[in-house]
A and B are shown apart, each in its own frame.
Chain A
């Protein structure tokens, strides 16, 4: 069964450093999402792509976060500079329309 891939699975960094996360969606899924989950809460959408276009990035802190999906397939989420409050789980999901399928996530700790 096809799965959403994410890397790295864990990342420890110091504040003010740059970090990047990678996501490879299920083949053929046009829609890709990045969510952030703070400990004890439900995930919240950061950015949504339809193919290579951004559909919704209203909750993305654009002063430090950026996301791209250049060829409409895999995607990268970057944080520069990282802050202590960015410590969270970053989840990628993809969808053919309807059901969303989630990857294993990247757990980020900012020291």
Chain B
């Protein structure tokens, strides 16, 4: 099946800093989503982005489908951005089921 690798596994930054999270995947995809898992465990949708670039406030994401990677950018980080960020993909051969990476744990210190 499709493999998803996220990097870095852990990232510690000061408030106000910018960050880039990376997701590599091993096969062509129909679906790619970025999630933020809050301290209570809920997965919050950030982006549905199988290709192209999207922006939502301080967050933006780019997926280069031909090179099989996606990037999540967080600008001017706030302490509330802390948590685990997951990338999840559904391969073209898949039946609309998401395969998750291991996540990037982001800690924003005041």
Q: Say yes or no for A98: interface residue by CB 8 A criterion.
A: yes
Report how many A-B pairs have Cβ atoms within 8 Å.
Answer: 53
* B31, B42, B88: most-surrounded residue (chain A CB, <10 A): B42
Count of A interface residues, CB-CB < 8 Å? 24
Contact, CB under 8 Å: B100 / A97: no
Count of B interface residues, CB-CB < 8 Å? 21
Q: Say yes or no for A67: interface residue by CB 8 A criterion.
A: no
Q: Say yes or no for B96: interface residue by CB 8 A criterion.
A: yes
Partner among B41, B48, B86, B103 whose Cβ is within 8 Å of the Cβ of A89: B41
Residues from chain B with Cβ under 8 Å of A104 in the complex:
40-42
B residues lining the A interface (CB < 8 Å): 4, 31, 33, 35, 40-43, 45, 48, 86, 88, 95-103
A residues lining the B interface (CB < 8 Å): 31, 33, 37, 41-45, 48, 55-56, 89, 91, 95, 97-105, 107
